[in-house]
């Protein structure tokens, strides 16, 4: 083999080796973990999204609200600390999926469920047998046109609906209800609003009505 032929082969091999060296030098994707606690809150309550990544790195928190179409919009940004830890406090109006982005890397998705906030008052806790007790309160966020269910707990500990009423407009952030229920015997009651996808089922605090 001639000297020129040997040089040509050596040059060709050297050229082929360059891309491999460049690929080997390319930095690995930055790893980012994520978690959320608690995983379910009542409207108005907060949860903490946290995780780890490279130290002193910009982290972008993104959110995808119901109906969860995969379009994650930017919520806020922060830098991880010297140990690589980051955290965000979130207070969403409805159930939301969260993701943390770091450079070209995305964390897994975590879900936060938001239940209706249901308040309840009664006109009396010691009604006369057969009299009607006024149940009233609010549901947040606003759910005008939805249904509030007045429920009584039976001897097995299961709540059964005894009356329903339609939620009315109250404010930009809440709806209200007011309905009278005839009470013939002592029992424990609550008000429930079913979930609608964007919100989980919400229950008011229970109350014991003692008939006399």
Segment 72-97 mean pLDDT: 98
- What is the tens place of the pLDDT at every residue in 36-54? 999 999 999 999 999 999 9
Question: What CATH number is attached to the domain comprising 110?
Answer: 2.60.40.1930
Which CATH number is 176's domain given?
A: 2.60.40.10
Contacts of 205 (CB under 8 A, 6+ apart): 120, 190
Q: How many independent structural domains does the chain possess?
A: 2
What's residue 35's pLDDT? 98
Q: Does one domain contain both 141 and 81?
A: no
Q: Are 59 and 85 in contact (CB under 8 A)?
A: no
pLDDT averaged over every residue in the chain? 90
Q: State the CB neighbour count (10 A cutoff) for residue 136.
A: 17
Question: Which comes out higher in pLDDT, residue 6 or 103?
Answer: 103
Q: Is residue 20 part of a domain?
A: no
Q: What is the pLDDT of residues 117-175, one digit of tens each?
A: 999 999 999 999 999 999 999 999 999 999 999 999 999 999 999 999 999 999 999 99
Residues 186, 124, single domain; the answer is yes
Q: Binning pLDDT at 50, 70 and 90, where does residue 29 land?
A: confident
Q: Is the model's pLDDT at 56 over the cut of 60?
A: yes
**Which pTM value belongs to this model?**
0.83
Strands of 123-173, DSSP E:
132-140, 147-153, 159-166, 168-171
In angstroms, what CA-CA distances link 61 with 15, 58, 85?
A: 43, 10, 14
DSSP assignments along 183-199, one per residue: --S-EEEEEEE---SSS
Residue 10 lies in a domain: no
Residues 186, 163 within the same domain:
yes
Residues 151, 74, single domain; the answer is no
User: Residue 165's domain spans which residues?
Assistant: 117-209
């Amino acid at each position: 083999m001639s000297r020129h032929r040997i040089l040509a082969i050596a040059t060709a091999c050297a050229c082929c080796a360059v891309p491999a060296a460049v690929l080997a030098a390319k930095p690995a994707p930055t790893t980012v973990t994520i978690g959320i606690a608690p995983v379910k809150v009542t409207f108005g309550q907060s949860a903490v999204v946290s995780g780890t990544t490279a130290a002193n790195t910009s982290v972008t928190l993104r959110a995808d609200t119901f109906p969860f179409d995969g379009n994650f919009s930017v919520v806020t940004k922060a830098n991880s600390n010297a140990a690589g830890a980051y955290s965000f406090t979130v207070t969403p109006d409805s159930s939301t999926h969260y993701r943390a982005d770091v450079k070209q890397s995305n964390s897994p998705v975590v879900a936060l469920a938001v239940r209706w906030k249901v308040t309840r008052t009664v006109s009396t806790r010691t009604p006369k047998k057969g009299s009607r007790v006024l149940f009233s309160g609010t549901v947040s966020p606003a759910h005008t046109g939805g249904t509030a269910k007045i429920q009584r707990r039976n001897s097995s500990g299961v709540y059964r609906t005894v009356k329903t009423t339609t939620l009315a407009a109250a404010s930009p952030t809440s709806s209200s209800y007011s309905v009278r229920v005839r009470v013939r015997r002592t029992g424990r009651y609550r008000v429930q609003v079913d979930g609608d996808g964007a919100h989980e089922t919400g229950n008011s605090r229970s109350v014991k009505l003692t008939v006399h």
